[in-house]
Amino acid sequence: MTFKKHGAVLVAVVLVLAAPMALYSFESFDSYPSFSYEIGAGSGYSSDGGFYEINAALNTHLQAWLVWRNSGFFRGQTEADDFFGVDTSMQAGSRVRAGERAWLDYHGGAGYRFTSIGKHAPFGEAGATYRAGGLRLGANAKYILYELVGEDRDNEFVFSVSISGSTSGTF
């Protein structure tokens, strides 16, 4: 295994272990499992050039600190064919009070990406969201480990920033 592959595995392990078990819930529900949804966008750069992704996710909150996230996405690329797929992951997270009506949520976990072009691969991700009233400002980093499964393509880093209000909710 090359240093590049060892580095990718190390990044995935660190991202999974970086999210501590919660002292506070990062979503509050009366019972579990419960559900939330969100819509987002991100961008990045790969060996295929620059790209953007849009997604719609359904989150199943199994516990106050544990979420199973399933996100359908579409990727538009500058130097390759566009494609779509589904990311499924388990994420642990927590919430820290940042003011009287403000919170900082953070999460980390690992999952698997399935695509319409057959480029399936595991990933690790971590992020944080600042909530104040109905406004959410978030940042998320995802590292897709194509080399780990022997794909003939470089690993990818996807960074997304989100600003939301009515694009997320619970039910």
Tell me the per-residue pLDDT of 114-157, one tens digit each, with 9 for 90 and over.
999 998 999 999 999 998 877 888 888 999 999 999 878 889 98
Name the amino acid, one letter, at 62. Answer: L
Q: Is the pTM of this model over 0.85?
A: no
By C-alpha distance, which of 26, 6, 11 is closest to 110? 11
Cβ atoms of residues 47 and 153 within 8 Å: yes
Split into its structural domains, the chain has a count of 1
Q: Supply the CATH number for residue 87's domain.
A: 2.40.160.20
Q: Which residues of 12-30 are buried (b: 16+ CB within 10 A; e: fewer)?
A: beebbeebeebeebbbeee
* Polymer length in residues for the chain: 171
Sequential DSSP letters for 16-30: HHHSPPPSS-SS--S
CA Rg value for the chain = 16
Domain containing 110: what range?
Answer: 3-170
> For residue range 43-85, what is the model confidence (pLDDT) as tens digits?
887 777 889 999 888 989 999 899 999 999 999 998 889 999 9
Residues 6 or more apart in contact with residue 152 via CB below 8 angstroms:
none
Whether a cis peptide bond, with omega within 30° of 0, leads into 20 is no
